């Protein structure tokens, strides 16, 4: 007997047989306080990101704004996005504490979007890198010192 319900869609391992899923992530400071766009925070981010592959994550391009962070990250099979972002916030929060910035540092949760094709990566990155220009923080995106790429991420 045939079921009246449609067949379930395939799970992510079937959709991404050879590629790691690539996520666009944004998280904010508590009450949007401008805590982040500074050299100590940037160095702490780069230190965390540089060790991320040992924990199943490959951060790509990023922009650190005064009150939020945009980043792209590819994850290994055994790495959960929520746990990775929680770890990121915890480590970076210690840097904020060390510089005399009291808790709470972070807004609860984060925004994530699973990228589905290469053009969306390019379009999202262009939008994100223009963020400091739109906010009047610099004249050109390349002038913003708190942005870059940790690991080149190929996305087809």
Confidence of residue 19 (pLDDT cuts 50, 70, 90): low
Is 11 within a domain?
no
Two tokens, residue 87: 């770890």
Confidence of residue 156 (pLDDT cuts 50, 70, 90): low
Domain count, the chain: 1
Is 3 within a domain?
no
Is 155 within a domain?
no
Confidence of residue 105 (pLDDT cuts 50, 70, 90): very high
Look at residues 72, 67, 70 and name the one whose alpha carbon lies nearest to residue 96. 67
Quote the CA–CA distance of 44 and 48 in Å, as a whole number. Answer: 6
What tens digit of pLDDT does each residue of 1-13 get? Answer: 554 545 544 444 4
Is 145 within a domain?
yes
Is 156 within a domain?
no
The pTM of the full predicted model, rounded to 2 decimals, is 0.86
Is 4 within a domain?
no
Task: Give the burial string for 124-151 (b: 16+ CB within 10 Å, else e).
Answer: bbeebbebbeeeeeeeebeebebbbebb
Question: Which structural domain, as residue segments, surrounds residue 119?
Answer: 16-149
What tens digit of pLDDT does each residue of 54-91 get? Answer: 999 999 999 999 999 999 999 998 889 999 999 999 99
Is 9 within a domain?
no
Is 46 within a domain?
yes
If you average pLDDT over every residue of the chain, what do you get? 89
**Which CATH number covers residue 144?**
3.30.70.1290
pLDDT of residue 4: 56
């Amino acid at each position: 007997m045939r079921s009246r319900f449609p067949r379930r869609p395939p799970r992510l391992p079937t959709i991404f047989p050879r590629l790691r899923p690539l996520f666009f992530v944004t998280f904010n400071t508590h009450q949007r306080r401008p805590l982040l766009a500074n050299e100590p925070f940037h160095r702490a981010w780069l230190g965390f990101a540089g060790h991320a592959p040992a924990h199943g994550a490959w951060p790509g391009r990023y922009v650190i704004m005064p009150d939020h962070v945009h980043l792209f990250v590819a994850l290994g099979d055994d790495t959960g996005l929520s746990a990775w972002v929680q770890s990121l916030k915890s480590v970076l929060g210690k840097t904020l504490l060390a510089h005399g910035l009291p808790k709470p540092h972070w807004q609860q949760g984060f925004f994530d979007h699973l990228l589905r094709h290469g053009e969306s990566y390019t379009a999202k990155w262009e939008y994100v890198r223009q963020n400091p220009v739109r906010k009047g923080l610099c004249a050109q995106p390349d002038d913003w010192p708190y942005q870059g790429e940790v690991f080149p991420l190929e996305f087809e």
